[in-house]
Amino acid sequence: MSAQDETPGAGAEGNASYGHKAFKRSKSHFADRVTADGRDGWPVEAGRYRLVVSRACPWASRALVSRRLLGLEDALSLGVTDPIQDDRSWRFTLDPDDRDPVLGIRYLSEAYDARESRYPGGVSVPALVDVPSGELVTNDYQQLTLDFATQWTALHREGAPDLYPEPLRDEIDVVMDGIYRDVNNGVYRAGFAPDQKAYEAAYHDVFHRLEVTSERLATRRYLVGDTITEADIRFFTTLVRFDAVYHGHFKCNRRKLTEDPVLWAYARDLFQTPGFGDTVDFDHIKRHYYQVHSGINPTRVVPLGPDLGGWLTPHRREELGGRPFGDGTPPGPVPAGEEVPVTGRP
């Protein structure tokens, strides 16, 4: 995957660099995998690991959606950080006494330190933490959700969809690769571009790929095959942020998501599918981007718009056919205590 090819950097967004040099997304430093056979020393086990996310973060949000769709909530507990980091990075100030109730830590960096003392890199979400030892297992967001889909199967709910079906993997990988390069990461390259030329190149990549993908989705409900796959999860997490943060804050403003009828209907369809929209907190998203990236928004003022009401309007994408969960079923309700507060919902 292209993320693994990026050059490491350090900068104001923790382990992704921006400033005078072209934006580079860093490699995930901790790339151990939790697998069915435990080959890295981390076997899949119910109740053993904690997923730490920020609901602001698109990479962490993939894991949030995937965990819901697969029904891993009982097996894999969830810690949600404050959307605003301080100088020690992600913190658990949304929890009583500002501590994660399961890990007992105030900062995610404590789990990184438990794994590797004086770890010099950035602290990033998503992070998978081993509860008994308090050590970080992995922050490899590219592999994490693929492993949820293919390694955690013994703990999937009954009726869980196959998000990475074997016969479609090559096609899914190709689609995800283009979307990663030009859209998921392209918006960051535009937003953190150090000069006009770099910004324009990224801007063109973003909108070229959105156009191509919009054409693809005009006649098919989902990106690959006729069911929801990992590719849809990865595209959704950028689309859902598009008008709220990427259009203005990252200057990706050729058009809004709401101005592309196909992509807007596709994104609404997914948003309204259990497991997608119920993980999204627009309040966390906006406050994180506009307040944390003070290099590109020095006043740290958070815009009041856009109006979110449209997310819940009919999309009529079911007319294209498709079987969202294949032979499976939608996930049940959001577990108690994990509901997104009303301040973050449309």
Ligand X SMILES: N[C@@H](CCC(=O)N[C@@H](CS)C(=O)NCC(=O)O)C(=O)O
Contact residues toward ligand X (CB under 6 A) are 13-16, 25-26, 28, 57, 59, 85, 89, 122-125, 139, 141
For the CB of residue 169, give the shortest distance to ligand X in the complex, in Å: 22
In the annotated binding site, the residues are 90
Q: How far is CA 40 from CA 1, 29, 37, 73, in A?
A: 21, 15, 9, 23
Closest CB to ligand X: residue number: 14
For the CB of residue 26, give the shortest distance to ligand X in the complex, in Å: 5
DSSP string, 116-178: STT--S---SSEEEETTTTEEEE--HHHHHHHHHHT-GGGSPTT---SS-GGGHHHHHHHHHH
Closest-CA residue to 199 (of 20, 344, 22, 15): 22
Residue 124 or 227 having the CB closest to ligand X: 124
DSSP state of 91: B
- Burial (CB count within 10 angstroms: exposed 0-12, middle 13-18, buried 19+), residue 345: middle
For the CB of residue 210, give the shortest distance to ligand X in the complex, in Å: 20
Tokens 């309040």 — which residue? 283
* 57 counts as catalytic: yes
| Catalytic residue (one of 49, 57, 203, 222) | 57
Residue 185 or 213 having the CB closest to ligand X: 185
Residue 125 or 128 having the CB closest to ligand X: 125
For the CB of residue 85, give the shortest distance to ligand X in the complex, in Å: 5
Per DSSP, what are the bridge partners of residue 295? none
Q: How far is CA 338 from CA 56, 60, 198, in A?
A: 15, 15, 39
Hey, what are 77's tokens?
């507990």
Q: How far is CA 98 from CA 94, 310, 330, in A?
A: 6, 35, 34
Give Cβ neighbours of residue 104 (< 8 Å, ≥ 6 apart): 134
Residue 6 or 226 having the CB closest to ligand X: 6
> What CA–CA distance (Å, rounded) separates 170 from 167?
8
Residue 13 or 162 having the CB closest to ligand X: 13
In the annotated binding site for glutathione, the residues are 90
For the CB of residue 345, give the shortest distance to ligand X in the complex, in Å: 20
Question: Alpha-carbon Rg of the chain, whole angstroms?
Answer: 19
For the CB of residue 60, give the shortest distance to ligand X in the complex, in Å: 7
Residue 8 or 322 having the CB closest to ligand X: 8
Q: How many CB atoms lie within 10 A of CB 103?
A: 21
* 252 counts as catalytic: no
- Mark residue 49 as left, alpha or beta (left: phi above 0; alpha: psi -120 to 50; beta: remaining): beta
Catalytic residues: 57, 188
